Amino acid sequence: MTIKNICCIGAGYVGGPTMAVVAQKCPYITVTIVDINASRIAAWNNEDLSKLPVFEPGLDNIVDEARGRNLFFSTDVDKAIDEADMIFISVNTPTKTYGKGKGMAADLKYIELCARQIAKVSKSNKIVVEKSTLPVRTASAIKSILNHTGNGVQFQILSNPEFLAEGTAIDDLLNPDRILIGGDDSIEGQKAIQALVDIYANWVSKDKILTTNVWSSELSKLTANAFLAQRVSSINAISQLCEKSGADVNEVAKAIGMDSRIGSKFLKASVGFGGSCFQKDILNLVYIAKTYGLNEVADYWEQVIIMNDYQKQRFSDNIVSTLYNTVSGKKITFFGWAFKKDTNDTRESAAIKVADNLLSEQANISVYDPKVVEERIYADLDYLGTRSENENKALLTVHNNPYEASKESHAIAVLTEWDEFKTYDWQKIYDSMYKPAFIFDGRGILDIQTLEKIGFVCYKIGSGAKI
């Protein structure tokens, strides 16, 4: 079976870049990305490529090449479903905010709506691919909806989790470590798997394309994110020991990372991990374990989140205690708001929690981030509901220039590891600040020796050389 027409439901951080790469690599396939959010689709269709709704290095060039040729963005969901041989579901699956599993389980309401819409519209057989990260056994729920409400149309359900990381999405998509495809054991199921393998084989070598049963594929995605997040919480736990004992977490990370069994990646201590996936997927894993009565398994993974929350809390506590136990009325400048560099995404960013804690201590915060827009920053804070929108606006200001942002501040906190922070004129920044001028490097990216020579008083995450 050769796929000629693909529809992707959900034009977000996953659906957009993934399908842009599929379209670029498979010019013979028409790829239509649909979304219920009309302004998002309008942004994807914007002539000005700097206005795409997702910022990813290299994405603009790919969209430029494929858009209008075989890549289309639309709000006409029904038409795109009807015309497609293969439908990717890439809608969000947030943590439930109500009812059973509140605060833990994934909310599958959007997935179910998609399945029902596919069932209603389809007039020909289709392969439905889960791209969203889902709890184990979701595929069987989708299958049940499709088979019971459809009109005699045959559906095959595949699980094809996405492993791209934001900021490096295009490179990850072009050169993936592996592609994982889960499907049914039946002949029809195997044919569907093969159809998806053939798409990826346009640019990924076959030995990197793994095929498994559906549930292994679903669980592998949750497990991969849980293991990655666990590494960050592990090194962050050690960063605390380093600060107390006088060791340096970067030296420890290097020493252990050279053990080929441990490996060197994902050992960068930080103010805490963020992003749309890690916390959500671990909570999901914890919930699944609990529903199977595996309480020890649930507790084990939950600790990864507890450590992450603590890392954020202790960062803001340290700022308060270092600034003579009060930040009330003091200006603190945040360099970075995104959850990591090279993205405009702020979901679950550590900066949000750190800011919220400091605002509760009546600090004035000024923020500079190279890519995150002002409305996003206020929306992130307002969403927490800790104080009114007006209070957030009064206490926090957003700047588009780092030198303006840091003028007359008591302290600078580095929340995101943007490369440009390393090359600023730090003397100029120092001269414009109140003294003592403090720096709290929550990402361990600045050259502390140089900064101390200028006169800054420095704290670096995981460094025993404390203030």
C-beta closer to ligand UDX: residue 30 or 220: 220
Region near ligand UDX per CB under 6 A, out of 59-67, 275-283, 357-365, 426-434: 275-283
Instruction: Tell me how far apart the alpha carbons of residues 12 and 17 are, in angstroms, rounded to a whole number.
Output: 8
Near ligand UDX by CB under 6 A: residue from 35, 184, 302, 380: 35
Place of tokens 């960063």: 239
Region near ligand UDX per CB under 6 A, out of 34-42, 137-145, 285-293, 296-304: 34-42
Residue 458 near residue 285 (C-beta atoms within 8 A): no
Q: Is position 72 an interface residue for ligand UDX (rule: CB under 6 A)?
A: no
Near ligand UDX by CB under 6 A: residue from 29, 80, 128, 232: 232
Q: Is position 136 an interface residue for ligand UDX (rule: CB under 6 A)?
A: no
Residue 130 near residue 101 (C-beta atoms within 8 A): no
Near ligand UDX by CB under 6 A: residue from 13, 44, 55, 440: 13
> Which residues inside 254-273 make contact with ligand UDX, applying CB under 6 A?
266-268, 270, 273
Residue 102 structure tokens: 């509140």
Contact map string, positions 91 to 130, toward ligand UDX, x by CB under 6 A? xxx----------------x--xx----------------
Residue nearest to ligand UDX (CB): 12
C-beta closer to ligand UDX: residue 51 or 435: 51
At its nearest, how many Å lie between ligand UDX and the CB of residue 417? 7
At its nearest, how many Å lie between ligand UDX and the CB of residue 25? 19
C-beta closer to ligand UDX: residue 38 or 394: 38
Three-class SS state of 396: strand
Instruction: Tell me how far apart the alpha carbons of residues 107 and 8 are, in angstroms, rounded to a whole number.
Output: 20
The residue count for the chain: 467
Near ligand UDX by CB under 6 A: residue from 32, 70, 133, 308: 133
C-beta closer to ligand UDX: residue 220 or 406: 220
Residue 206 is classified by DSSP as G
At its nearest, how many Å lie between ligand UDX and the CB of residue 338? 9
In sequence order, what are the beta bridge partners of 33? 8, 73
Q: H or E segment at 94?
A: none
At its nearest, how many Å lie between ligand UDX and the CB of residue 89? 8
Query: Directed axis angle between helix 138-149 and helix 214-245, to 10°?
Result: 150
Distances (CA, A) of 350 to 271, 276, 404, 415, 417: 7, 12, 23, 7, 12
Distances (CA, A) of 205 to 171, 175, 199, 200, 202: 15, 10, 11, 8, 8
Distances (CA, A) of 309 to 194, 279, 306, 321, 351: 43, 10, 5, 18, 12
Residue 463 is classified by DSSP as B
In degrees and rounded to multiples of 5, residue 51 shows phi and psi of -100, 10
Query: Directed axis angle between helix 214-245 and helix 278-291, to 10°?
Result: 120
Q: Is position 228 an interface residue for ligand UDX (rule: CB under 6 A)?
A: yes
At its nearest, how many Å lie between ligand UDX and the CB of residue 117? 8
Instruction: Tell me how far apart the alpha carbons of residues 231 and 267 are, in angstroms, rounded to a whole number.
Output: 6
Annotation marks residue 8 as catalytic: no
Catalytic residue of the set 7, 8, 277, 458? 277
In degrees and rounded to multiples of 5, residue 43 shows phi and psi of -65, -40
Near ligand UDX by CB under 6 A: residue from 3, 6, 7, 11: 11
Residue 327 is classified by DSSP as -
> Which residues inside 276-335 make contact with ligand UDX, applying CB under 6 A?
276-278
Contact map string, positions 338 to 377, toward ligand UDX, x by CB under 6 A? -xx-------------------------------------
> Which residues inside 140-169 make contact with ligand UDX, applying CB under 6 A?
162-166
At its nearest, how many Å lie between ligand UDX and the CB of residue 388? 26
- AA identity, residue 306: I
Three-class SS state of 187: helix
At its nearest, how many Å lie between ligand UDX and the CB of residue 90? 5
Residue ranges that bind ligand UDX, judged by CB under 6 A: 9-15, 35-37, 40, 90-93, 110, 113-114, 132-133, 162-166, 225, 228, 232, 266-268, 270, 273-278, 339-340
Q: Active-site positions?
A: 277
